[in-house]
Amino acid sequence: MTKIGFLGLGVMGLHMALNVDRKMDLEVIGYDVGEQQMQMYRDAGGTLANNIEELYKTCDVILQMLPTHAIIQHSVEEAIRLGKPGRLIVDLSSAAPDIILALSETATAAGMFLLDSPVSGGNTMAKDGTLSIMVGGDRAAFDQIKPVLDCMGTPVYTGGPGSGDTTKLVNNMVGGAILVAIAEGYAFAAKAGIDLQTTFDATRGGFAGGPLYDNKVPKVLHRDFEPGARIAVHRKDILNAKHYAHKMGVDLPLTDVVLQVMDWMNDNGYVNEDQAALVRYYEDKMQVTVGTAGE
């Protein structure tokens, strides 16, 4: 492992790539289809590939943080087509497990390794290098790449191919249900006319409390919908969960409710706001305003 390529220098990917570059004594080159993202990486001290083919052809390890299934699939296929046996491909994006399973078979047949390694924690944790990283695939390949993943956060080996993405779906299904419950509960409190800050102070140490509660409720109360984690990104994982549930022939009734709320946010132009903005759905249904901006 002498040369690392990082593909996808978006809001999170930029910081993830820089953390690897700064913490590893290895050559790291980055690439993105967006010129602005490329310039930001260059300005921060990163080294860029001249073109995407250079990254695919010359790097021993390909790390990718990409937005859609089509782009993820194409990138992995190109990394396999232009690579050599022994190459390690780490998909840090969020993908449907069945798509990763099919790609893993193709990689294995070519003598390469694909690790599905989705991350959780949002932009701030990407910058701080404290992301949760859920890694599925070959155990020996995980052990080899773990020092690189350590630069970006805390990697946990979850099992065979597809297990990392499945674990991420569980994370976001549960997180989505909690976020929608927070939105519903605080809209209910506002409609009932009780003081919202007092409600938060009284409940944060109770059964409902926890890191997500402490992070999102103040944003709801202050109507701070500047995205730390966008609803659009979370919604993609909810759609992936529904897709994989359909493949398995199971129902996800609570996840259906989460998707209903997120679909409303999408349809009404709020999907790029923070998850705290899910309260808008309940404000509309209950005809109430929750919190006060700027307080």
CATH of the domain at 64: 3.40.50.720
| Same domain flag for 99 and 205 | no
| Same domain flag for 156 and 188 | no
| Same domain flag for 197 and 241 | yes
Give the confidence band of 121 by pLDDT, cuts at 50, 70, 90: confident
> Is residue 210 predicted with pLDDT exceeding 90?
yes
Residue 295 resides in a domain: no
Which of 106, 130, 161 is a domain's end point? 161
Region 26-49: mean pLDDT is: 95
Residue 42 resides in a domain: yes
Which of 161, 187, 213 is a domain's end point? 161
> Is residue 228 predicted with pLDDT exceeding 90?
no
Residue 113 resides in a domain: yes
| Same domain flag for 125 and 236 | no
**Domains of the chain: total:** 2
Region 211-233: mean pLDDT is: 94
> Is residue 293 predicted with pLDDT exceeding 90?
no
Of 130, 117, 4, 22, which is closest to residue 61 (Cα–Cα)?
Answer: 4
Q: Specify the pLDDT at position 30.
A: 97
| Same domain flag for 257 and 270 | yes
| Same domain flag for 142 and 41 | yes
**In angstroms, rounded to a whole number, what is the distance separating the alpha carbons of residues 27 and 39?**
19
Non-local (6+) Cβ contacts of 3 within 8 A are: 26, 27, 28, 29, 58, 59, 60, 61
Residue 194 resides in a domain: yes
| Chain segment 85-109, per-residue pLDDT in tens | 999 999 999 999 999 999 999 999 9
Question: Lowest-confidence range among 35-39, 119-123, 191-195, 217-221?
Answer: 119-123
Give the confidence band of 124 by pLDDT, cuts at 50, 70, 90: confident
Q: Where are the alpha helices (DSSP H) in 130-252?
A: 139-150, 163-192, 196-203, 211-221, 231-248
Region 247-263: mean pLDDT is: 97
Residue 292 resides in a domain: no
Q: What are phi and psi of 31, to 5 degrees?
A: -155, 145
| Same domain flag for 142 and 183 | no
| Same domain flag for 155 and 33 | yes
| Same domain flag for 10 and 51 | yes
Q: What are phi and psi of 224, to 5 degrees?
A: -95, 95
CATH number at residue 243: 1.10.1040.10
Collapsing DSSP to helix, strand or coil, 285 comes out as helix
Q: Specify the pLDDT at position 1.
A: 62
Residue 291 resides in a domain: no
Q: Specify the pLDDT at position 55.
A: 95
Give the confidence band of 256 by pLDDT, cuts at 50, 70, 90: very high
173-187 as b/e: b if 16+ CB within 10 A:
bebbebbbbbbbbbb
| Same domain flag for 118 and 138 | yes
Residue 65 DSSP symbol:
-
| Same domain flag for 107 and 203 | no
Region 154-163: mean pLDDT is: 98
- Domain housing 130: 3-161
Residue 19 resides in a domain: yes
Q: Is 146 marked active-site? A: no
Residue 272 DSSP symbol:
T
Which of 104, 131, 161 is a domain's end point? 161
Look-up: residue for tokens 């570059």?
Answer: 21
Contact 200, 217 (CB under 8 A): yes
Q: What mean pLDDT is reported for the chain?
A: 96
| Same domain flag for 25 and 87 | yes
> Is residue 209 predicted with pLDDT exceeding 70?
yes
Residue 293 resides in a domain: no
Residues 3, 84, 168, 236: which is the catalytic one?
168
**Which pTM does this prediction carry?**
0.91
**In angstroms, rounded to a whole number, what is the distance separating the alpha carbons of residues 293 and 67?**
31
